[in-house]
Amino acid sequence: MPTGHEVLAAVLQVRADVLQVLLWQRGKDPDRGRWALPGGALGATEDVEESVRRQLAEKVDVQEVAHVEQLGVFSAPARVPGVRLVATAFLGLVPSDADPEIPADTAWHPVDRLPETAFDHAEIVRDARDRLRAKLSYTNLGFALAPREFTVSALRELYAAALGHPVSATNLQRVLTRRGVLEATGETAPPGPAGGRPAAVFRFTERALRVTDASAVLRPPGPRESTGE
């Protein structure tokens, strides 16, 4: 049986304080009506990253995708009915302040409450979620989830949504500042509805991926702590 090759993208974004993935609803068999990751066949003159960026542009403005990296190869012989189709999957991240235009057959879904998905796409989404969670611990990848400028409180909410557990703003600021990941802009944000002091505004020092602490883990809080490293 001839083997085909496709590329798929698990594009994640924190929307309404929930980590979500972009899926489109299949209009034909196999798995008609199920939700699938954007992607398609690898072009004869493309490498896999060129292909996934091209195909992402058909579903979402690729300029809104702050980070793309290869996630893995999925090659189970029966992953797609009737054909041998190998998939190279990618993780893509969209900042929380972006709202890309998407087609009518496409929607955002919480990664922990997926609809009925096509083929092995739920497995790919879980792998993408786990990759993001791991890299938030030991790299500066938060830049791809956050707006250009933000308060530490807002950044904490993004990390909490992505990691799936509460995060202390104080500890997060301490950890990321010590690693040289955050810098103050010198600006402040206006107080919220409850009042209080204006909050300092920060930004990431870089908007490209780098390892900051190879052995670090942002753990769920224990009974007497809000977060740890």
Q: What residues does CATH 1.10.10.10 cover in the chain?
A: 139-204
Q: What is the pLDDT of residues 13-38, one digit of tens each?
A: 999 999 999 999 999 999 999 999 99
What pLDDT, on the 0 to 100 scale, is given for residue 157?
A: 97
Check residue 81 and give its pLDDT: 92
Query: Across all residues in the chain, what is the average pLDDT?
Result: 92
pLDDT at 222: 64
Q: Which CATH number fits the domain 139-204, given the four candidates 3.40.50.11890, 2.60.40.1220, 1.10.10.10, 3.90.700.10?
A: 1.10.10.10
φ/ψ of 211, rounded to 5, equals -75, 130
Provide CATH code, domain 3-133.
3.90.79.10
Distances (CA, A) of 35 to 108, 151, 163, 214: 10, 35, 24, 35
- C-alpha span between 64 and 191 (Å, rounded): 29
List every span in the chain annotated with CATH 3.90.79.10: 3-133
pLDDT along the chain (229 residues), means of 10: 90 98 95 96 95 88 88 95 94 95 94 98 98 97 98 97 95 94 94 76 96 85 52
pLDDT at 83: 87
